[in-house]
Amino acid sequence: MGAEMRKVSDTRHDAEPAIVRATAPRFERLLNRRPAWLTEHSPRKGDLMPSPHHALGHIEISPEVHDALHRGLPVLALESTIFTHGLPRPRNLEVAREAEDRLRGRGVVPATIGVVDGRAIVGLSPAEIDRLGNDDDVVKLSLRDLPVAAAKRLSGGTTVAATAFLAARAGIRVFSTGGLGGVHRDAQQTFDESADLPTLAALPLVVVSAGVKSILDVPLTLERMETLGLTVVGYRTTDYPGFYIADSGLDIEYSSDSADEIADIARARDALGITSTLLVARPVDTDLQLPPELHDAVLSRALNAAASAGVSGHDITPFLLDFMQRETGGRSLDVNVEVYRGNVALGAEIAAALAGAE
């Protein structure tokens, strides 16, 4: 299966992209106009069209991903910001390629999502991944940025919010990432909250992460998840993970010991008509985490440095992450990679469990 899938993927540029059309009415509120440049593409017989009722925008799906969705094979969505903005070169592309190779080795089709010249692509080709990972002009794209990127033909890495939105539009059900965005510290004054949470609250996905990044306000983020109706299940734990560390010090109500049980929870959610994301919180292995004492000390210094420098808004997250990397001698970066590997592996198991039962 893996060799066959690689062959399909390698011929991506020889085939015209498949076009997907949205199904759920709620998307009309989020993206109710399509850029004029998209009208030159028209669906063909055989294209993936979950619904003929609403043409709410076009997304290009690689032949490999399109074929897998059509045949009911397991597909796992992956974000692109991890290799466009999250990791240094050349490690960024090494991690991206490794994730895809490991998935194919497990019989799961990778769907790395990004935007190239304004085209939202589900299932980037190797050449497109290389381009996004090496180009200095690549931007970071959240949900709100997608229409601007389309109209201006920008290229960018998609955040959790944008990736989840595009994955759901394409019909993909499982998405693995490193850490989620959430409520920022001092949000009571700034109202600074990631678009990840409200976006995931409107999408029926299963998203595997190592919790929210510990630089955020984790208690407030968990409160927001509850308010938004996001089900949180710990993978073999009731301790909510803190990305770099296995235990943030906060508890969650539910845990699951297997991918099969997580798939059962997702199916029960769908049967009930609930349309929010099931969040699977998988902690990093304790022998791979940052030592908690080191983590807490460095994070405290990072927050003080940000306050002294007057860093805020969109600049705060990259500032804190860069500070963590420098002050830990690169160990935080190593944890980031290990977190991602583990989450991709679990996402593959869940995708296979969902596909195997249908």
What residues act catalytically? 79, 213
Residue count of the chain, please give it. 358
Handedness of CA 158, 160, 162, 164 (dihedral sign): positive
CA distance 186 to 248: 18
Number of neighbours of residue 49 by Cβ within 10 angstroms: 17
Rounded to 5°, angle at Cα 231 from 226 and 233: 120
Rounded to 5°, angle at Cα 88 from 321 and 292: 35
Phi, psi of 246, deg, nearest 5: -70, -25
| Residues 69 and 75: beta-carbon distance below 8 Å | yes
> Directed axis angle between helix 259-272 and helix 331-356, to 10°?
60
| 84: DSSP letter | I
Q: Per the omega criterion (within 30 degrees of 0), is the bond before 90 cis? A: yes
3-state secondary structure labels for all residues of 228-271? CCCEEEEECCCEECCCCCCCCCEECCEEECCHHHHHHHHHHHHH
Residue 159's SS3 state is: coil
Instruction: Decide: residue 268, CB within 10 A, 0-12 exposed, 13-18 middle, 19+ buried.
Output: exposed
| 286: DSSP letter | T
Task: Estimate to the nearest angstrom the gap between the alpha carbon of 139 and the chain centroid.
Answer: 16
